[in-house]
Amino acid sequence: MHGLGNDFMVLDATREAIALAPGDIRAMADRHFGVGFDQLLLVERAPHASVDFGYRIFNADGGEVEQCGNGARCFARFVREQGLTDKDHIRVQTCGGAIELHITGHGDVRVDMGVPRLLPAEIPFDAPAPALSYPITVEGEALELAVVNMGNPHAVLRVDDLGRAPVARLGPLLERHPRFPARVNVGFMQILTPERIRLRVHERGAGETLACGTGACAAVVAGRRLGWLGRDVTVGLPGGELQVTWPGEGHPVSMLGPATRVYDGLWLWPDAARAGEAQDAKVHAALATIAVDRQKRA
Ligand SMILES: N[C@H](CCC[C@H](N)C(=O)O)C(=O)O
């Protein structure tokens, strides 16, 4: 599945627990020797009664992270189409907090991403005191950035021309800067009007992606706090547009956008692929199940 080109492998772990080692995830994420994705999403049983599902997110580098906005929209579409729920409002628990997913009538999904956290210690980011933005030096270059936690950590820099933004050079340097002890996602924001920005994101553990939902939310929060943006902002990303709304400090951020299912498939563990007849029978049985699921969805 993908959300504006930010692509995911989504696994249903509600029927049986799925435990994947980081090396397994890296192998699956490989775009030549595996399936290929930015993040892997696990759909799990609800960990407690106040949510409908558990939602775990793993970057392509195999590390587990706290939140994924584009993935949340795909999560909602997946659990509905798999018949795991018939609700339009779905509450899920991630390790970065609980979020609300709302399936709209037009195939889009609106996500209540929760209240952004802004104190340096909450990002986490090493800084002497809270501020709207912070000076930071990277290989002798003086920069100014804002920091926002949307469940996961984000740094946001304003640029005048996104096409010339040094995403490939500064993204990895800031991602691993020592002042971000948990590393960080790095957004480069060009402000067109108070209601419209363009954004590129170098994601922690995945590199630059075609879209980043939590990055879009973090950019709007940072821009609004600095007086550059209004309440409702259209965020133009390389993969498409998200609508983000933030009424202000203490309020949750809302994000609206599409979720696309590309295909269903089977992952054959390299050693199992050579298992011969027993594996063939399992593959045919699983393909039959996929065909039935597709008929149910049709
Ligand atoms: N693509 C995701 C963000 C993944 C965040 C991950 N890269 C991290 O390390 O926090 C989104 O749409 O919000």
Question: How many whole angstroms separate alpha carbon 278 and alpha carbon 291?
Answer: 20
Predicted pLDDT at 284: 81
Confidence class for position 262, pLDDT limits 50, 70, 90 = very high
Mean pLDDT of 232-246: 98
For the Cβ of 149 lying below 6 angstroms from any atom of ligand 1, the answer is no
Q: What percent of the chain shows pLDDT beyond 90?
A: 86
Closest Cα to atom 4 of ligand 1: 68
Q: Is 137 annotated as a binding residue?
A: no
User: What is the reported pLDDT for 176?
Assistant: 98
Query: Which pLDDT does position 270 carry in this prediction?
Result: 72
pLDDT over 80 (residue 46): yes
Residues 163-191 as b/e (b if ≥16 CB within 10 A, e otherwise) read eebebeebbeebbebebbeebbbbbbbbb
SS3 content of the chain, % helix, strand, coil (to 5): 25, 35, 40
Looking at residue 275, its pLDDT comes to 64
Is 94's C-beta closer than 6 angstroms to any atom of ligand 1? no
Q: According to the annotation, is 149 in a ligand binding site?
A: no
State the ipTM, two decimals. Answer: 0.92
Query: Does residue 6 have its Cβ closer than 6 Å to ligand 1?
Result: yes
185 in a labelled binding site: yes
Cβ burial of 249 (10 Å; 0-12, 13-18, 19+) is: exposed
